[in-house]
């Protein structure tokens, strides 16, 4: 269990906790964002922005004393199968450094060695939030609009964190997430909206790369409630590490219009990782959602990450400038099921945003 939980360091910190999707598509005049991943003893894979629904998601965020520059090859929201597969590269730079990435060799980032603090909060337009809500950590029941718990790097509370929100005689909603050793921002809201077609349940997330799968078979951020169905489940999958299960039990459909219930998480490491001022991490998620990362333990020679070129590129849709980066790399990725994947002579041209 400990080993498995170590592997679930979903995109390490941020992957997109503060930015929206940046859609870089190749044209005749523009460079193509690509990644070639030769896995030892298995088929190689490649990613090309603009092909097979893949986009280049560029972002940056500040966490404690670090700036994280991230580039993710992920699929567009219109994806209907194999949507979880993505590949990401992140740079971890201390704020004391000059705010600029440069050419050269980068050491691999390793996860913090101490612990994490997880802050959870509730947002709602209900008039009685404290009376109607409870937090459950394993068998322990807590109360309050916000709570805080701690975990360390190699253990987690197996039953996870649950927020149970019960509006008497109207509906009950349960949000559930694993408690993982991650630095992550997670914001998920449920809105109940009256439309011409009936009451709509809408899921809103802050993630730039999220997919909502419903028990009805629909893959969409919203569905219309069937008056003959009282229980719905949804899984919100996010490349930023915000994957959450939601169960909705409706008691009175006629009273639902206008409710808003939000589940929010902010988690961060207790201490600064023992890394160089500039370090890099690589992660890969399979089509089945199995997560692999270079950062579970340190990487040693002959494993390398070399930035060959870095140039200024276009601003993204948020108005942030970006860098286009060309890199080669060798490393081992550690999977959540205990397996490994060896990358030899990998290469990528990708983009990250910056200040």
Q: Cα 217 to the chain's mean position, in Å?
A: 23
**Whole-number pLDDT of residue 65:** 82
Q: Are 234 and 101 in contact (CB under 8 A)?
A: no
Mean pLDDT (the chain) is: 83
With a cut of 80, say whether residue 239 has pLDDT above it.
no
With a cut of 80, say whether residue 164 has pLDDT above it.
yes
Per-residue pLDDT band for 139 (boundaries 50, 70, 90) equals confident
Nearby residues of 228 by Cβ (< 8 Å), 6 or more positions away: none
Per-residue pLDDT band for 194 (boundaries 50, 70, 90) equals very high
pTM over 0.95: no
> What percentage of the chain exceeds 90 in pLDDT?
50
Nearest C-alpha neighbor of 192 from the set 248, 271, 274: 248
Report the C-alpha gap between 114 and 272 in whole angstroms: 9
How long is the chain?
355
Q: Are 105 and 306 in contact (CB under 8 A)?
A: yes
Residues 67-95 as b/e (b if ≥16 CB within 10 A, e otherwise) read bbbbbbbbbebebeeebbbbbbbbbbbee
How many other β-carbons are positioned within 10 Å of the β-carbon of residue 161?
23
**Whole-number pLDDT of residue 81:** 81
**Whole-number pLDDT of residue 5:** 32
Report the C-alpha gap between 178 and 244 in whole angstroms: 8
Q: What are phi and psi of 106, to 5 degrees?
A: -120, 135
Report the C-alpha gap between 50 and 21 in whole angstroms: 14
Per-residue pLDDT band for 320 (boundaries 50, 70, 90) equals very high
């Amino acid at each position: 269990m400990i080993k498995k939980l170590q592997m679930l360091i979903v995109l390490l910190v941020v992957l997109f906790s503060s930015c929206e999707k940046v859609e870089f598509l190749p044209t005749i005049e523009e460079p193509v964002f690509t990644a070639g991943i030769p896995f030892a003893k298995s088929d190689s894979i490649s990613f090309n922005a603009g092909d097979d629904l893949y986009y280049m998601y560029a972002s940056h965020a500040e966490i404690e004393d670090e700036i994280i520059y991230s580039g993710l090859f992920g699929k567009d929201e219109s994806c209907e199968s194999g949507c979880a597969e993505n590949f990401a590269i992140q740079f971890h730079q201390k704020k004391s450094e000059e705010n600029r990435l440069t050419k050269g060799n980068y050491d691999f980032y390793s996860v913090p060695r101490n612990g994490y603090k997880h802050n959870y909060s509730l947002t709602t337009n209900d008039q009685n939030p404290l009376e109607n809500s409870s937090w459950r950590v394993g068998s322990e029941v807590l109360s309050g609009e916000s709570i805080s718990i701690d975990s360390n790097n190699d253990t987690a509370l197996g039953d996870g964190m649950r927020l149970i929100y019960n509006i008497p005689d109207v509906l009950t909603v349960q949000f559930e997430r694993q408690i993982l050793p991650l630095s992550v921002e997670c914001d998920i809201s449920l809105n109940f909206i009256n439309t011409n077609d009936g009451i709509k349940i809408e899921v809103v997330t802050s993630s730039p790369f999220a997919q909502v799968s419903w028990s009805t078979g629909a893959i969409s951020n919203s569905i219309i409630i069937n008056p003959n169905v009282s229980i719905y489940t949804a899984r919100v999958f996010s490349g930023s590490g915000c994957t959450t299960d939601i169960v909705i039990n409706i008691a009175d459909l006629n009273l639902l219009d206008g409710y808003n219930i939000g589940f929010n998480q902010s988690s961060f490491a207790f201490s600064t990782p023992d890394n160089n001022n500039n370090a890099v991490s690589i992660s890969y998620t399979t089509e089945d959602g199995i997560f692999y990362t270079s950062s579970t333990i340190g990487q040693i020679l002959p494993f390398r990450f070399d930035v060959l070129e870095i140039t200024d590129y276009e601003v993204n849709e948020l108005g942030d400038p970006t860098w286009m980066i060309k890199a080669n790399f060798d490393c081992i990725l550690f999977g959540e099921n205990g397996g490994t994947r060896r990358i030899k002579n990998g290469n990528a041209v990708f983009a990250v945003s910056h200040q």
